[in-house]
């Protein structure tokens, strides 16, 4: 071993239930580190972690709450341990707002520290699949843009660095292979060509493109300063926005189609209809200043009363749900998140639904189903609910939802956390349970991992799927921010094109409802 040296940049930061430790990796490969802690000023020590890296989270609820702790970092080689750093940290019970800020800030790392470096785009997942390589995702990056705006507003990053990152993204968005102005679902990090999402899905994906543009239009409104870089960003977003040919994706009919490929044409043949995550697609298609659709595709295609996956008005657990799949009680919860990262549901209504009530009721039904727990999954209850798309535990991926076909015992943290605007008290119970009682295994460097299933075994390590997905991480940051300050809602809804599109489709806003619901969101952002 090299001569002992104090670790440079050894930092410790205490939170509600854990301490984060970072240090420089001083030694050559083969050396690992041990983290010891003492709660009595250094009289007695216990080993908490061993790692080959230079980062650790130590969850300390097993030792108590509101702790004063002393740590020492040991370099271990050939069974010999040498102390190379020491320091103190304290934990304390966080307020609800501090917990929300903590979760947002950790989750933001996915889009900032772990973005694909050449493009600044969000990776599809971390860790990525070896057979697919390092894939960047269009829709997930759109959600990541909302996270970057949030971070700039709250001071986690500077406005200038946020703009620089977004200009890097637009560099690639301009160069990526596009299909009538639309992006593909996936791209490879080192290639400007589309990466097949499936055999015939190798071209334009207007749903993913809409999620991307929702983020970009929010950025166009937010970064409104009269300086060179922000003006450049706004101008480039405008060009990308005006290049999108929504009319093309109707095939001349009164409905939008999800995919088009230069190789397979309309082979996917996937009309966007019924109630799902794609409301924002029709809003943006109607809002386009260059290639808009009329109102007919919205009313005759998407929102047809004859479509069994659109109109619902069934009652579940004493709650009537206006729209959505009847079999799965409205479907997975991301239906209430993805389109509403920017689109403000507060007081928003058309002839079909009040969208605040739609999303709130959908969330409460999803929660009530988990409390009812018809299949007897371990842990389900008032502080352990939330079925949405995500990784299954132990393996697989599905759009989790109520019902035998979709409920496999896996709870996705993003479901309840991204529902914070609709069910703040109920969602906060889930956050506290997942963090304080399961955080040791469920909470990592980029926040909550993607899924937890207490029924798979009695071993907490195998109950968690240690993955992160962009489409799950992004709504956590953005929707919590909409609960805390309505930042993204207020910003996106200022867009004149969007206002025109909503009016064309017959939407209106009940200002009294928005004012009432805005009470929580009037607070100034805090770090």
Task: Give the CATH number of the domain where residue 32 resides.
Answer: 2.60.40.10
Structure tokens at 171: 């560099």
Q: What is the pLDDT confidence band of residue 57, given thresholds at 50, 70 and 90? A: very high
pLDDT tens, position by position, 471-506: 999 999 999 999 999 999 999 999 999 999 999 999
Q: Average pLDDT, stretch 306-312?
A: 89
161 and 16 in a common domain: no
Domain count, the chain: 2
Output the pLDDT for position 6: 56
Q: Does residue 430 lie in a domain region?
A: no
181 and 254 in a common domain: yes
Q: Does residue 392 lie in a domain region?
A: no
Counting residues of the chain whose pLDDT is more than 90, the rounded percentage is: 87
Closest CA to 447 of 474, 429, 427: 474
Classify the C-alpha dihedral 141-143-145-148 as positive or negative: negative
40 and 52 in a common domain: yes
End residue of a domain, out of 75, 93, 111: 93
| Run of H or E including 55 | strand 55-59
315 and 190 in a common domain: yes
pLDDT tens, position by position, 202-235: 999 999 999 999 999 999 999 999 999 999 999 9
Output the pLDDT for position 78: 82
Q: Does residue 33 lie in a domain region?
A: yes
Mean pLDDT is highest, among 134-138, 187-191, 203-207, for: 203-207
104 and 30 in a common domain: no
238 and 346 in a common domain: yes
Mean pLDDT of the chain: 94
Mean pLDDT lowest among 78-92, 403-417, 430-444 = 78-92
pLDDT at 5 over 70: no
Q: Does residue 109 lie in a domain region?
A: yes
Structural domain for 337, as ranges? 97-355+469-521
Burial of 210 per CB tally in 10 Å (0-12, 13-18, 19+) = buried
Output the pLDDT for position 192: 82
End residue of a domain, out of 93, 116, 138: 93
Calculate the dihedral angle through the C-alpha atoms of 329, 332, 337, 343, rounding to the nearest 10 degrees.
-50
Please give the full DSSP string across 174-222, using - where no structure is assigned: HHS--BTTBPPSEEETT-SSEE-SSSS--SEEHHHHHHHHHHHHHHHHH
114 and 70 in a common domain: no
User: Regarding predicted confidence, which is higher, 308 or 37?
Assistant: 37
Please give the full DSSP string across 342-399, using - where no structure is assigned: TS--TTEE-SS-BHHHHHHHHHHHHHHHHHH-TT--TT-BTTB----EEE-SSS-EEE
Q: Does residue 385 lie in a domain region?
A: no
Q: Average pLDDT, stretch 282-291?
A: 98
Look at the chain and count its residues.
Answer: 527
Q: Average pLDDT, stretch 455-467?
A: 97
pLDDT at 130 over 60: no
174 and 62 in a common domain: no
Q: Does residue 188 lie in a domain region?
A: yes
Task: Give the CATH number of the domain where residue 332 resides.
Answer: 1.50.10.140
241 and 210 in a common domain: yes
282 and 205 in a common domain: yes
Mean pLDDT lowest among 29-33, 444-448, 449-453 = 29-33
End residue of a domain, out of 93, 127, 152: 93
Output the pLDDT for position 146: 98
Say if CB 330 and CB 366 are below 8 A apart: yes
Output the pLDDT for position 189: 77
Q: Average pLDDT, stretch 152-157?
A: 98
Q: Does residue 220 lie in a domain region?
A: yes
Output the pLDDT for position 311: 94
Q: Does residue 371 lie in a domain region?
A: no
Cα 208 from Cα 229, distance rounded (Å): 26
180 and 42 in a common domain: no
Output the pLDDT for position 375: 98
Counting residues of the chain whose pLDDT is more than 70, the rounded percentage is: 95
pTM for the whole structure: 0.96
291 and 144 in a common domain: yes
């Amino acid at each position: 071993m090299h001569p002992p040296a104090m670790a440079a940049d050894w930092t410790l930061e205490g939170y509600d239930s854990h301490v984060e430790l970072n240090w420089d990796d001083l030694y050559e490969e083969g050396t690992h580190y041990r983290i010891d802690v003492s709660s009595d000023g250094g009289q007695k020590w216990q080993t908490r972690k061993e790692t080959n890296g230079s980062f650790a989270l130590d969850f300390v609820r097993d030792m108590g709450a509101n702790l004063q702790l002393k740590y020492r970092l040991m370099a271990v080689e050939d069974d010999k341990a040498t102390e190379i750093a020491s320091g103190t940290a304290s934990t304390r019970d966080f307020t609800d707002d501090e917990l929300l800020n903590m979760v947002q800030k950790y989750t933001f790392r996915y889009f900032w520290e772990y973005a694909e470096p050449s493009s600044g785009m969000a990776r599809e997942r971390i860790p990525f699949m070896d057979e697919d390589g390092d894939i960047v995702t269009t829709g997930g990056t759109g959600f990541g843009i909302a996270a970057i705006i949030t971070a700039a507003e709250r001071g986690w990053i500077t406005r200038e660095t946020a703009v620089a990152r977004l200009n890097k993204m637009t560099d690639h968005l301009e160069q990526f292979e596009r299909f009538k102005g639309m992006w593909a679902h996936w791209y490879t990090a080192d290639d400007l060509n589309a990466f097949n999402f499936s055999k015939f899905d190798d071209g334009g994906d207007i749903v993913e493109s809409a999620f991307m543009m929702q983020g970009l239009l929010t950025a166009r409104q937010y970064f409104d300063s009269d300086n060179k870089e922000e003006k450049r960003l706004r101008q480039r977003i405008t060009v990308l926005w005006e290049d999108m040919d929504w009319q093309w994706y109707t095939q001349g009919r009164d409905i939008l189609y999800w995919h088009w490929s230069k190789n397979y044409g309309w082979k996917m043949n996937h009309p966007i209809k019924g109630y799902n995550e794609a409301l924002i697609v029709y809003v943006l298609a109607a809002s386009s200043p260059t290639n808009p659709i009329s109102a007919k595709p919205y009313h005759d295609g998407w929102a047809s009363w004859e479509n069994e996956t659109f109109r619902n008005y069934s009652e579940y657990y004493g709650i009537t749900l206006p729209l959505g799949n009847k079999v799965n009680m409205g479907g997975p919860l991301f239906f209430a998140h993805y389109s509403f990262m920017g689109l403000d549901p507060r007081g928003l209504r058309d002839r079909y639904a009040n969208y605040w009530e739609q999303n709130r009721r959908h969330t409460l039904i999803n929660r009530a189903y988990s409390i009812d727990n018809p299949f007897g999954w371990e842990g389900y209850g008032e502080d352990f609910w939330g079925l949405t798309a995500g990784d299954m535990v132990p393996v697989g991926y599905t759009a989790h939802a109520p019902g035998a076909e979709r409920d496999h015992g896996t709870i996705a943290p993003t479901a309840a956390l991204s529902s914070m605007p609709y069910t703040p008290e109920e969602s906060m119970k889930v956050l506290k349970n997942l963090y304080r009682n399961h955080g040791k295994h469920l909470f990592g460097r980029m926040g909550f991992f993607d899924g937890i299933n207490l029924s798979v075994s009695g071993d907490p390590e195998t109950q968690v799927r240690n993955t992160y997905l962009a489409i799950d991480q992004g709504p956590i940051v953005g929707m919590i921010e909409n609960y805390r300050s309505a930042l993204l809602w207020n910003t996106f809804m200022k867009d004149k094109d969007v206002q025109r599109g909503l009016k064309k489709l017959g939407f209106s806003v009940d200002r009294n409802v928005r004012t009432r619901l805005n009470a929580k969101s009037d607070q100034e952002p805090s770090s």
